[in-house]
Structure 1
């Protein structure tokens, strides 16, 4: 496997672009292939078996295109399928988990909120992570319908603002001082969240930590691209290419391709 080969990323839709942006900022010389399985979004409402099946299908597609490693840029897919993926494939995998540890170590009120999908909050991996912090008041909230609205490009809709208010107001009332975003789609809602919660409440997502971990794993496996060549980026989607283009912006919009995978 050449260090010049691309890094693969997949998500149930456009959410993983929040991870891709952090990755590209830290590792600008790494080429990438991003897979948005919009047709099957959201993963958060599916069974564990379905999530494993869809995740394997996505990894097959990325490996066929020469990816040297895969970032599972989806919290639900990570918490439900990454163990199986690592057992099935002989390439490095990076997973996405809710950033509970930094919130738990820094909270002053001993109350943190976690906004995530049902699939993530119900997973064995998540329950194991939370069990380390039984001394804290951890408020878990399923972000019902948020992923679907983001996938439709409805980031500024009144519906999404009302849903966020319904989910966040009880956390604020409970005196949380950290909000953990447990879905890669949710960072796109930070401006709307900021309008609802007080400024002293800190918002944590996994993007920066994932980018740093990716760099570490590439270095450990001698796969870091040090050629200095201009990186190439391809984005594949099986539905709603317009939303993906909007979130990427004009610089990369022409690199978005519709394909039925």
Structure 2
């Protein structure tokens, strides 16, 4: 399955699930039309490995940050430290960070402190903030808005599975919404209903691999190539061709992740 020039804006290529065949996984993504992949940081302690993967492959980039699950166990990072790490040419985003009240793997005060630090690093660097939000819509929206009033910044609600209100409040401050394989699941009609109302110029696609493989791969290990299935589902949901959807989401990606250079042969049209 292939569509032209799509992007996996959020995956985890450093995870053990890919250790034995990372070259093959990336090759399959390329064959599926994936021109760029962003491998996402969940721990500062493993960031050197994440960065090394991005350095190894021309079409792979990375973020820097601490997932809310690890906010209570990782050594707290400062804004200045994140800014310094983000200066690397392959680092193109801050996060993922946010609130996760579903698992509550870290104390909520630790999650808030970490999230605020990541927001302020995004403000300082101009790089997009990659937001994880689960069962924490009101706190997420409120902190994003509070910090935006202090100093504007941009970002993305990754793997969107939240309520309509969070999406709309994030869109109001210029954020993007990234869709994963969840939109292909039978029980995700509420999410699909919200996605229908997201402006076309704010949509991204991702895998969150190795998690959340889309139908028809559900139940298998996810990988960047499978973003093509999510992309096809999004095009159908929006009532447009896959080619048009590819043009839109890829243009959106390079607008938001402006530090990532597009392929030389990719025509982005009005990408500004």
Query: Higher helix proportion, which one?
Result: 1
Q: What TM bracket, shorter-length normalisation?
A: 0.3 to 0.5
Q: Which has the larger radius of gyration?
A: 1
Normalized against structure 2, the TM-score is what?
A: 0.33
Normalized against structure 1, the TM-score is what?
A: 0.34
* Greater RCO, CA 8 A, separation 6+: 1
